[in-house]
Amino acid sequence: MIKLRPMLTQEYAGYMAYFLPDYALEITANYDLSPADALARAKGEIAADLPDGVDTKGQVLLSVLDLDEGLVGYLWYKPDLPEKSAFIYDFHILPPFQGKGLGKVALKALEALLLKQGITQIGLRVAADNARAQGLYRSAGFRTTGVNMIRRIGSR
């Protein structure tokens, strides 16, 4: 059984240990930046988006727990109560627990949590090269609403 709970301060470092390198790889692959520049960009974005870590107002960081296994993943979203929507910034099931259906169950748990808050829509962005995540989101009922595109111009 999956449970979502607020991320503990002591879990935040573990989350960042996964998130920053993973996000930097995505930036490198999709925005044509060097690994060092991508990591610097990822760190800068996190400093801006989560200046107070788990206590950042307007952002929700959750730990995904399996009652038998303990911590199995992380989920970060931002609610927009006036719009009755939430935007998922990051959702990750730790590698030893992937492929077991926990992601889909965790998304259902998130839906239930958000519905209790009056939120009726969930949005997210998924990297073009992340077929596994795209498959999960499609199987959970998400649909594509647009495509982000980029072209680097000029010299570096």
Rounded CA-CA distance 104/125 in Å is: 17
- pLDDT attached to residue 154: 81
- pLDDT attached to residue 128: 82
Tokens of 39: 């990591």
pLDDT digits (tens, 9 = 90+) for 9-22: 999 999 999 999 99
| Domains in the chain: ranges and CATH | 2-139 (3.40.630.30)
Task: Answer yes or no: are the C-beta atoms of 18 and 74 closer than 8 Å.
Answer: yes
- pLDDT attached to residue 156: 57
Residues of the chain where predicted confidence (pLDDT) is lower than 50? none
Q: Is the torsion defined by CA of 82, 88, 126, 151 positive or negative?
A: positive
- pLDDT attached to residue 155: 63
Task: Tell me the DSSP string of 66-81.
Answer: ETTTEEEEEEEEEEET
Rounded CA-CA distance 57/52 in Å is: 8
- pLDDT attached to residue 147: 83
pLDDT digits (tens, 9 = 90+) for 30-45: 888 999 999 999 999 9
- pLDDT attached to residue 54: 98
User: Quick check: pTM over 0.95?
Assistant: no
